[in-house]
Amino acid sequence: MAVASPPKTPSSPPGGAQASKAGSGKYFFLGKYRSLLAICLIVAAAVHLVGLLIFGTITLFKGSVPRMPFTSEGIPAEDVGAEAPMEEESAPAEEAASSPDSAAASSEAVSEDTETVLAVTGVTSQPSPFAAAPAVPSARTGLPGGTGSFGGGGGGKGKGGRSSVNFFGVKGEGTNVYFVVDLSDSMLEPERGGVAGFSIVKKQLKQMIQSLDEGTRFNVVTYGAAGVDLFQTASVPATNDKKQAAAEFIDRYNTSTEKKGTQNNNYRPSIPEFGLIQGDRGTGRITTRLDLGLLAALEGLADTIFLISDGKAPVLAEDRRKEAAEAMKQAEIPEGERIKYEKEVEEWRRQYEKYTAELKAYREKYKDLLAKRDQKIQEAKAKGEGKVREGYGVDYGVRIPGLPSQPVEPRQPEPPKPKSGGKVVQAAGEIYDETTLIKRIREVYTEVYKKGNAETPSIHTVGYMSKSTEAKFLQNLAVKNNGTYKAISAPIKDAP
């Protein structure tokens, strides 16, 4: 029987061939894609490096661009008249309003401590000649957007569009600033420097406007005996083009003794007025509409109001038109007063006929002297001469020897007034005294600002060579309305 030989020992353990094959296949895959993977990594690194280089170059370029130096007025020193791109005007000051509760609270009477501080501020502002401080670089707080200060044309920029203003010595700041300027004849009287003196007032006012931060909203209000002219119907951002337009607006006022006062009287208040305007005591003439000037600023929801005036307050009376309209339904003119008035009118007509004849004879008799007088007046006007006296026109100082005064026109009698229950029906009640008028101003702006959900405004006043009683009114107006007062006792000087 044949013996079978033992089986041969395998050269590799079971499954070794498969394992070897699998191992060689994995090695083959890395070898095939090794170069591709390396290329991808290199490309990614290169792209990243290029991106960093581009970003760094842009950043370095921006940082190296020289910034335009600024003057103390807060405008480019190398291009003062440059126009800024037009901005889309946002809504007026309602956007910066506080809550209704805070507005109502702030409109209440000033706290005792605050009243004391404000009163001291007003009282210690001693009358002194004022010359605007020379332009100085604006002070900074050391923080970006920190509030600076400026005086007489100096500039400062505030955070969030807030600007600091030195208004002829009164310092204040705001985001919606109204400049209210008195154009009444008294502002051109010789003791205040006349037309030349007022031109300095205008120059310094324009410097103040130039120094406003571009984020600040502003407006200019001018008032006189006839009414109020508004620069804009609502406050506007203080961009370069608006500042230039405001300067042109200011330049056109009080340029001579003939071209004085307001020009278009384009403001018609849509909010409650302080009262009914009356003629000045003793003259019957209306010489100032300070009431309308303040109303325009309040209607614009200004948070800061700067007012310069000789201080003459308008004569205002309590408004009783509603009561008068009701009373007129039962009112009538008494028969006796009607008959008396008819007789007065007949007498006035006879006197007027006599006056007309006398005036005709006067003009014929002194025709040559009158022509000489008119010629001299025209020459004085051409030279810009003449003295302004509020309520009395312009005195050109022309006196012609041998020319008497012309006949005086007789005064027309006043018609009788309707009566109800034996009393004259009056649309105006009692005349407001100083205290009552200021109280009425507070009542009006409290109502207006509460409805507009806006902050209670500050009213800062400058008394330009005011009489004692008029200075007291302006001082109290400021003290009672969160502001300060400055008295100027001599014509304003131009900055050296």
**pLDDT of the residue at 382:** 82
Cβ neighbours of residue 406 under 8 Å, at least 6 residues apart? 359, 362, 363
Condensed to tens digits (0 to 9), the pLDDT of residues 1-16 reads 444 444 444 444 444 4
Q: Say whether pLDDT at 141 is over 70.
A: no
Determine the pLDDT at residue 325. Answer: 94
This model's pTM is above 0.85? no
Least-confidence region, from 28-42, 85-99, 187-201:
85-99
So what's the pLDDT on residue 3? 42
Cβ–Cβ < 8 Å for 59, 418: no
Question: Domain map of the chain by residue range?
Answer: 93-320+430-488
The Cα–Cα gap between 113 and 119 comes to: 10
CA distances from 196 to 131, 135, 208 (A): 15, 21, 19
* Two tokens, residue 459: 């009213």
- pLDDT exceeds 90 at position 313: no
Q: Helix 290-299 to helix 434-451 angle, to the nearest 10 degrees? A: 20
3-state SS track over the chain:
CCCCCCCCCCCCCCCHHHHHHHHHHHHHHHHHHHHHHHHHHHHHHHHHHHHHHHHHHHHHHHHHCCCCCECCCCCECCCCCCCCCCCCCCCCHHHHCCCHHHHHHHCCCCCHHHHHHHHHHHHCCCCECCECCCCCCCCCCCCCCCCCCCCCCCCCCCHHHCEEEEECCEEEEECEEEEEEECCHHHHCHHHCHHHHHHHHHHHHHHHHHCCCCCCEEEEEEECCCCEEECCCCCEECCHHHHHHHHHHHHCCCCCCCCCCCCCCCCCCCCCCCCEEECCCCCCCCCCCHHHHHHHHHHCCCCEEEEEECCCCCEEEEECHHHHHHHHHHCECCHHHHHHHHHHHHHHHHHHHHHHHHHHHHHHHCHHHHHHHHHHHHHHHHCCCCEEECCCEEECCCCCCCCCCCCCCCCCCCCCCCEECCEECCCEEEECCHHHHHHHHHHHHHHHHHHCCCCCCEEEEEEECCCHHHHHHHHHHHHCCCCCEEEECCCCECCC
pLDDT of residue 105: 38
- In the CATH hierarchy, which fold is given to the domain comprising 93-320+430-488? Rossmann fold (3.40.50)
Q: Which conformational region is residue 108 in: left (phi greater than 0), alpha (psi within -120 to 50 degrees), or beta? A: beta
- pLDDT tens-digit readout, 332-374: 999 999 999 999 999 999 999 999 999 999 999 999 999 999 9
Whether 152 and 68 have beta carbons less than 8 Å apart is answered as: no
- Nearest CA to 128 out of 481, 392, 486 is that of 486
User: 332 Cβ partners below 8 Å, 6+ apart?
Assistant: 418, 419, 420
pLDDT digits (tens, 9 = 90+) for 398-433: 899 999 999 999 999 999 999 998 899 999 999 999
Each residue of 235-270: pLDDT tens digit? 999 999 999 999 999 999 999 888 899 999 999 999
